[in-house]
Amino acid sequence: MKGIILAGGKGTRLYPNTIAVNKQLLPIYDKPLIYYPLSVLLLAGIREILLISTPEDIGNFEKLLGDGCQIGVHIEYEVQAEPRGLADAFIIGEQFIGNDSVCLVLGDNVFYGKDLTRMLKNSIELAEENGAVIFGFPVKDPREFGVVEFDSDFNAISIEEKPQEPKSHYAVPGLYFYNNEVVEIAKNTKPSARGELEITAVNNHYLNEGKLKVMCMGRGISWLDTGNPKGMQKAGNFVKTVQEMQGFYISCIEEIAWRRGYISTEQLVSLGEKYKMTEYGQYILSLVEQ
């Protein structure tokens, strides 16, 4: 399976912070926001990654992440010239995807939890066997989210965008797994009233075919949406608290790469030396000592 990170958009809800800087390059406590969705792909075992962003921002992502070799992965880059919707990522990434299945993660989503890796790997298997997997995250007030309803076998029954009378309390976060059919489905999706190729239309296609599974994120899993200043601050405070209390870092891509065997201990030390003037770099170096 291959992975796509969609890191476009203008981030207007974060103005003036994002007038000159892509929101996925802003910090969530001690690391750029883009590290968090990237870490999700690494935890899933996905090492071929396409990052899609705007013409103005794509160069900064390349400067930050390079070709990915430093963490044992391969990263490519493509431009989304205009915001044409989430499903446009599969059209832009058609050549990159090839004949493989694909995971799409939005660049402004933060996930954390001890069962996350297991859920990601199970989702890959389910998508390749059944068609598609989306996640359901329980929220107190689901009216501000896309909401999924599902049966006892976790087959999706309905998906609604910001319903006034939600059929469930499960919001759909920005993490999706699909088989290779998603490319043709996206190419045949008609633009919505706002002129975009909606991911909901893609999901409803799988739903109507009886091929859309729901993976429930229950207790022990955290999902943080960083679409506005309060969300950014909440996510930063969450990361700071967990790291200070438990002593290990959330979404440290260098650590994940090392623990997965993507890079050697020598490579890890070299990365730690690069940032040794910071607590982040000192943490990386401490992993070897431990």
**CATH classification at residue 219:** 3.90.550.10
Are 114 and 134 members of one domain? yes
Q: What is the pLDDT of residues 4-28, one digit of tens each?
A: 999 988 777 889 888 888 999 999 9
Q: Looking at the structure, do residues 181 and 279 belong to the same domain, yes or no?
A: no
Token pair 């998508």 in the structure block, residue: 127
Residue 247, class by beta-carbon neighbours within 10 Å (0-12 exposed, 13-18 middle, 19+ buried)?
exposed
**pLDDT for 83:** 83
Is residue 288 located within the same domain as residue 226? no
Mean pLDDT over residues 257-265, rounded? 97
CA distance 137 to 217: 5
Domains in the chain: how many in total? 2
Q: What is the mean pLDDT of residues 216-232?
A: 89
Whether residues 32 and 153 fall in one domain: yes
Collapse the DSSP code of 174 into the 3-class scheme (helix H, G, I; strand E, B; otherwise coil) and give the result. coil
pLDDT at 128 (0 to 100): 93
Structure tokens at 55: 């013409």
| Closest-CA residue to 34 (of 54, 11, 6, 76) | 6
CB-count exposure of residue 124 (10 Å: 0-12, 13-18, 19+): middle
What per-residue confidence (pLDDT) applies to 9? Answer: 80
58 lies in which domain range? Answer: 2-245
Task: Identify whether residues 161 and 177 lie together within a single domain.
Answer: yes
| pLDDT attached to residue 225 | 83
When pLDDT is cut at 50, 70 and 90, the band that residue 252 belongs to is very high
Please check whether residues 156 and 88 belong to one and the same domain: yes
Report yes or no: 158 and 149 within 8 Å, Cβ to Cβ. yes
Q: What is the pLDDT of residues 126-154, one digit of tens each?
A: 999 989 999 999 998 888 888 999 999 99
Structure-model confidence comparison of residues 264 and 14, the more confident one: 264
Q: Which residue has the higher pLDDT, 225 or 177?
A: 177
Per-residue pLDDT at 26? 93
Residue 202 sits in the same domain as residue 137 = yes
Based on the domain organization, do 237 and 277 belong to the same domain?
Answer: no
183/277 Cα distance (integer angstroms): 44
Read off the tokens for 122.
């199970």
What would the mean pLDDT of 31-35 be, rounded to a whole number? Answer: 97
Instruction: Mark whether 148 and 282 lie in a shared domain.
Output: no
Supply the pLDDT for residue 163: 86
Q: Which residues are registered as beta bridge partners of 215?
A: 135
**pLDDT tens, 89-103?**
999 999 999 999 999
pLDDT band for position 111 (cuts 50, 70, 90): very high
For residues 111 and 203, state if they share a domain: yes
pLDDT averaged over every residue in the chain: 93
Is pLDDT above 90 for 39? yes
Maximum CA extent, the chain: 56
Between helix 116-130 and helix 35-43 the angle, nearest 10°, is 70
Q: Are residues 111 and 38 in the same domain?
A: yes
Which residue type occupies 121? K
pLDDT at residue number 114: 84
Distances (CA, A) of 247 to 212, 239, 285: 38, 11, 14
Indicate whether 220 pLDDT > 90. Answer: no
Rounded Cα distance between 95 and 110, Å, is 28
Q: pLDDT at position 144, please?
A: 83
Q: Quick one: pLDDT band at residue 194, thresholds 50, 70, 90? A: confident
Q: Contact, 87 vs 186, CB < 8 A?
A: yes
Exposure on the CB side of residue 77, measured as CA atoms within 13 A: 20
Q: Is residue 290 predicted with pLDDT exceeding 80?
A: no
Asked whether residue 194 falls in the same domain as residue 270, the answer is no
Q: What is the mean pLDDT of residues 246-275?
A: 96
Can you give the pTM of this predicted structure?
A: 0.95
The pLDDT tens digits of the residues spanning 42-72 come to 999 999 999 999 999 999 999 999 999 999 9
